[in-house]
Homo-oligomer: A and B are copies of this chain.
Amino acid sequence: MEETGRTTHTLAALMELRKRILNGDFPGGTRLFEVALAETLQISRTPIREAMSRLAEEGLLDRLANGGFVVRSFTFADVLDAIELRGVLEGTAVRLAAERGAPADALQEVQDVLAQLDACFGSAPRDVDFEAYSDLNAQFHTLLTALSGSAVLQREIERATRLPFASPSAFLSGRTNIDVFRQSLQVAQEQHRALVAAISSREGTRAEFIAREHARIARRNLEYVILENPDLIEQVPGLALLNS
């Protein structure tokens, strides 16, 4: 993230507002007022404006026609669509990587992360180091998109992936104990391997297909988990902003 640098009021407000939005303190459609937030956070309107502007960039806020911001409304269908979108974009990235030919050293780097991911799995099917897996998985996907050689695509993927819940594993893995979810990680890892293999052998179409399936499984898992445990929406910070 970029907000590890200097601590300014703008960054503090940005993080605080993002936290509150994802936490569900402001339901979708809520209008945010500069003056009110300035009082709440004990700072002036200026950094509040700046922070809201950046949250609009991130897609968490919408600008109103005549000034002001409202919290963006996300439905459950939106979340599923975001995952599908991510699959399409990553699919394009790996297709391009295969078609254009990824540099050997970059490919090796991906292989290394892949091996590290393997190390997260223990002997039992449900024995997985979630914490490590999450981080490595994010790293894996980042390196993968970089293989495409398209700065434009990479940038848009980063954007789309930041949409709430575009990567369900990132926020579900550490917080739930649902078996179906744990076991799906084994499947995911299989796909990771197949993906890298397809890129290496320059099979663009196949790589794209696998990436899409990969996202589709993530999508289906989230769908399943939520439908089986509707109370998760209240429990998991970040899911609380859902409208429906």
Known contacts A50-B53, A57-B56, A88-B92; is-contact A81 B2 (Cβ 8 Å)? no
* Interface residues in chain A, defined as those with a beta carbon under 8 Å from any beta carbon in chain B: 2, 5-6, 49-50, 53-54, 56-57, 59, 65-66, 77-78, 81-82, 84-85, 88-89, 92, 150-153, 155-156, 159-160, 163
Tell me if A's interface is mostly helix, strand, loop or mixed.
helix
Q: What are the residues of chain B within 8 A of A156 when measuring CB–CB?
A: 85, 156, 159-160
> Which of A2, A78, A92, A155: most chain B CB closer than 10 A?
A92
Cα-based distance from A92 to B83 in the complex (angstroms): 13
Beyond the given A81-B153, A82-B152, please list 7 additional residue pairs across the A-B interface where CB-CB is below 8 A. A5-B65, A53-B57, A57-B57, A78-B152, A88-B92, A152-B163, A156-B156
A85 touching B81 by the CB < 8 A rule?
Answer: no
A6 to B88, CA, bound (A): 38
Query: For the complex, what is the distance from the CA of A66 to the CA of B6, rounded to whole Å?
Result: 8
Q: Which 7 A-B pairs give the minimum distances between C-beta atoms? A: A81-B152, A81-B150, A53-B53, A88-B92, A57-B57, A78-B152, A82-B152
Residues of chain B within 8 A of A2, CB atoms compared = 65
Could you say which residues of chain B place their CB within 8 Å of the CB of A84? 92, 150, 153
